């Protein structure tokens, strides 16, 4: 008798940065860099920053702006590896260094993690830490200055200028200053306008733009400067807007396809050629279906869905929209779903799912629904889409006890596609449900039952099903 083979024996998920990155401590310990997945968006930004650094006229002050959990801090760690080592630990970092920075010495990292305090002091502490093993005199000056109650803006800028000259003398390529969680400093400035550091940051950005060797200044925050500063008066807000104007603003949010690519890169499978062939046949069947015609116009899916097996293709398509919603924290929550062992999650599915011959069971939308309800609990019923989630739960509770197979699963699938499908041109049509559940008779039986029970309605003008809200 053949031994049972579970998916967990053949599939591993690369860890990446599903946890929160602490840039200073993680760089000191060189944590997880080899598991960082460099997406095209991140790669293009790394190239822009690198080319700006080595060009005399290129931008050297950057603001990386993106929602919580999109991997900004992890990308910042990649930048440190790229700029501050002769041989980066990350393989993509090695390629970019050889391509762009090959003739440039490593930079000195000045790493600052934001919290609600004065930016001036933290800039000096970061400088003291960064120079501690290179020039103890400058390091000690920065540390002593950070302890003073009143710190001159000019003293800080002069000290950074001296530090950059030291970098050149010590055969370094320049300074890389990264201020992670910069928004927390802005929040402090908004609450304490009399202690604001507005001119320090402006002058530091100006120093970076004219620096030789280059000073690269990167701030990392969740939204534009102005969004943190509503409590300031108009003139103060204008001052901060002038500061932001000194920076090249770079939005950091992966397109839908790149999030799917990220998932596919994270899932490391070891299927036989026979199993891979069967997987591809099933994916091709889905892609050839007319119900995905609009989705294929909006997304370039060639080669993406097969890499995400054993995620069902429709589940894969819905994941980015779900994990970009206000319920979750973008990529961080997406990777938590892939790596955690919570009930109904991906790892739980791998541990209890067996391969039958060459047939791989797929993780479907009904399981994803159960995972979200189990992991997020009552928070799904708070916010702008709370009534939609409540509608799904209400529909499930109204199902009588004599329901046929797939009834509950279909309600969950209709609910999730109704919530997160429109962004990608996907609707809960009969054909879409056939693609998910692979059993025409069972799907038809369940749909007929749900319509008769006034739980589901068919909207002819949309050629799709919806949950009855009457």
Amino acid 470: pLDDT: 57
Inter-CA distances, 60 with 55, 57, 215, 275, 450, Å: 9, 9, 7, 50, 60
Which tens digit of pLDDT belongs to each residue from 158-191?
A: 999 999 999 999 999 999 999 999 989 888 888 8
Which tens digit of pLDDT belongs to each residue from 137-151?
A: 999 999 999 999 888
Contact between 334 and 15 under an 8 Å Cβ cutoff? The reply is no
pLDDT band for position 239 (cuts 50, 70, 90):
confident
In 264-392, beta strands by DSSP E: 267-269
Higher pLDDT, 442 or 102: 442
pLDDT band for position 431 (cuts 50, 70, 90):
very high
Amino acid 91: pLDDT: 93
pLDDT above 80 for 245: yes
CA 385 vs. chain centroid, Å, equals 21
Q: Hey, CA dihedral for 192, 196, 201, 204, is it positive or negative?
A: negative
Beta bridge partners of 112: 179
d(CA 44, CA 331): 18
Among left, alpha and beta (phi > 0; psi -120 to 50; other), residue 32 is: left
d(CA 390, CA 397): 10
Q: Which of 414, 393, 405 is nearest to 449 (CA)?
A: 405
- Using CB atoms within 10 Å of the CB of residue 274, give its burial: 0 to 12 exposed, 13 to 18 middle, 19+ buried: exposed
Contact between 192 and 35 under an 8 Å Cβ cutoff? The reply is no
pLDDT above 90 for 413: yes
Which tens digit of pLDDT belongs to each residue from 353-384?
A: 999 989 999 999 999 999 999 988 877 777 77
Which tens digit of pLDDT belongs to each residue from 197-215?
A: 678 999 999 999 999 999 9
Q: Residue range 257-261: average pLDDT?
A: 88
Longest dimension (CA), the chain: 82
Q: Going from the N-terminus, what domains does the chain have, and what CATH number goes with each?
A: 40-251 (3.40.50.300), 256-467 (no CATH)
Question: Interior CA angle at 46 toward 41 and 50, to 5°?
Answer: 150
Higher pLDDT, 451 or 323: 451
Q: Residue range 216-237: average pLDDT?
A: 83
Percent of the chain with pLDDT over 70: 96
pLDDT above 50 for 17: no
Contact between 399 and 290 under an 8 Å Cβ cutoff? The reply is no
Which tens digit of pLDDT belongs to each residue from 281-322?
A: 999 999 999 999 999 999 988 889 999 999 999 999 999 999
Q: Hey, CA dihedral for 433, 434, 436, 438, is it positive or negative?
A: positive
pLDDT above 90 for 436: yes
Which tens digit of pLDDT belongs to each residue from 54-107?
A: 999 999 999 999 877 678 888 999 999 999 999 999 999 999 999 999 889 999
CA 137 vs. chain centroid, Å, equals 40
Percent of the chain with pLDDT over 90: 67
pLDDT above 60 for 2: no
d(CA 404, CA 421): 26
Q: At how many degrees (to 10) do helices 119-131 and 182-191 cross?
A: 150
pLDDT band for position 196 (cuts 50, 70, 90):
low
DSSP code for 362: P
- Using CB atoms within 10 Å of the CB of residue 235, give its burial: 0 to 12 exposed, 13 to 18 middle, 19+ buried: exposed
pLDDT above 80 for 35: no
Amino acid 110: pLDDT: 98
- Using CB atoms within 10 Å of the CB of residue 363, give its burial: 0 to 12 exposed, 13 to 18 middle, 19+ buried: buried
């Amino acid at each position: 008798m053949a031994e049972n083979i579970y998916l967990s024996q053949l599939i591993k998920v690369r860890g990446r940065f599903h946890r929160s990155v602490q840039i200073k401590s993680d760089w000191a310990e060189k944590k997880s860099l080899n598991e960082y997945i460099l997406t095209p968006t991140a790669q293009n930004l790394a190239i822009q920053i690198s080319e700006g650094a080595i060009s005399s006229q290129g931008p050297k002050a950057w603001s990386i702006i993106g929602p919580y959990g999109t991997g900004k801090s992890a990308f910042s760690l990649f930048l440190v590896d790229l700029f501050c080592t002769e041989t980066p630990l990350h393989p993509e970092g090695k390629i970019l260094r050889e391509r762009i920075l090959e003739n440039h010495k490593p930079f000195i990292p000045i790493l600052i993690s934001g919290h609600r305090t004065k930016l001036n002091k933290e800039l000096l502490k970061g400088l003291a830490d960064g120079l501690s093993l290179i020039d103890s005199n400058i390091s000690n000056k920065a540390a002593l200055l950070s302890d003073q109650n009143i710190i001159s803006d000019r003293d800080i800028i002069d000290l950074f200028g001296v530090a950059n000259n030291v970098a050149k003398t010590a055969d370094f390529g320049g300074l890389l200053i990264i201020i992670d969680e910069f928004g927390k400093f802005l929040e402090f400035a908004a609450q304490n306008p009399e202690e604001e550091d507005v001119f320090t940051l402006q002058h530091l950005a100006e120093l970076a733009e004219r620096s030789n060797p280059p000073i690269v200044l990167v701030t990392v925050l969740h939204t534009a400067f102005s969004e943190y500063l509503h409590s300031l008066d108009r003139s103060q807000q204008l001052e901060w807007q002038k500061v932001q104007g000194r920076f090249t603003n770079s939005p950091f949010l992966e397109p839908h396809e790149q999030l799917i690519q990220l998932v596919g890169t994270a899932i490391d499978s070891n299927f036989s050629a026979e199993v891979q062939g069967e997987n591809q046949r099933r994916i091709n069947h889905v892609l050839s279906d007319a119900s995905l015609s609009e989705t294929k116009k909006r997304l370039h899916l060639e080669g993406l869905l097969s890499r995400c097996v054993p995620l069902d293709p429709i589940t894969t398509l819905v994941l980015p929209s779900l994990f970009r919603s206000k319920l979750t924290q973008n990529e961080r929550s997406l990777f938590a779903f892939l790596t955690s062992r919570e009930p109904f999650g991906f790892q739980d599915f791998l541990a209890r799912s067996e391969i039958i011959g060459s047939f791989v069971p797929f993780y479907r939308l009904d399981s994803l629904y159960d995972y979200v309800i189990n992991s997020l609990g009552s928070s799904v019923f708070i916010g702008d889409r709370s009534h939609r989630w409540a509608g799904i739960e209400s529909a499930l509770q109204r199902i009588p006890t004599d329901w046929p197979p797939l009834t509950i699963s279909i309600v969950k699938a209709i609910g999730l596609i109704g919530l997160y499908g429109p962004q990608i041109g996907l609707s809960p049509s009969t054909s879409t449900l056939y693609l998910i559940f692979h059993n025409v008779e069972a799907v038809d039986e369940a749909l007929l039952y749900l319509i008769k029970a006034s739980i589901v309605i068919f909207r002819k003008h949309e050629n799709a099903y919806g949950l009855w809200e009457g």
